[in-house]
Amino acid sequence: MLARMKLRELASLGIAVLLILGTLAWLAIAAFHFWMSSGPPIPQPRDAFLTRAWIDLAVAATFAIAAALAIRYRARRRVA
């Protein structure tokens, strides 16, 4: 199956996979920051962790949207 794929299709699939992995990684980082904002054991402002958590969540959402667009682009190219 992979031998028949064109290089462009393989590249778009690779980009989609990397974006999905990036999304999962950023979601894990966001979850950690949300957890730390609920009461960190270190003397750092809770608002700093909450702000970082929202930023990480936004980055994860951006990666997820980009992955969805890459998959959609790949699906459209296969139909056409």
Q: SS3 for 6?
A: coil
Rounded Cα distance between 61 and 55, Å, is 10
The answer to whether the pTM exceeds 0.75 is: no
pLDDT digits (tens, 9 = 90+) for 20-70: 999 999 999 999 999 888 875 666 777 888 899 999 999 999 999 999 998
Domain ranges, ordered by start, for the chain:
20-79
| Phi, psi angles (nearest 5°) of residue 4 | -85, -15
pLDDT digits (tens, 9 = 90+) for 5-26: 677 778 888 898 999 999 999 9
Rounded Cα distance between 17 and 26, Å, is 14
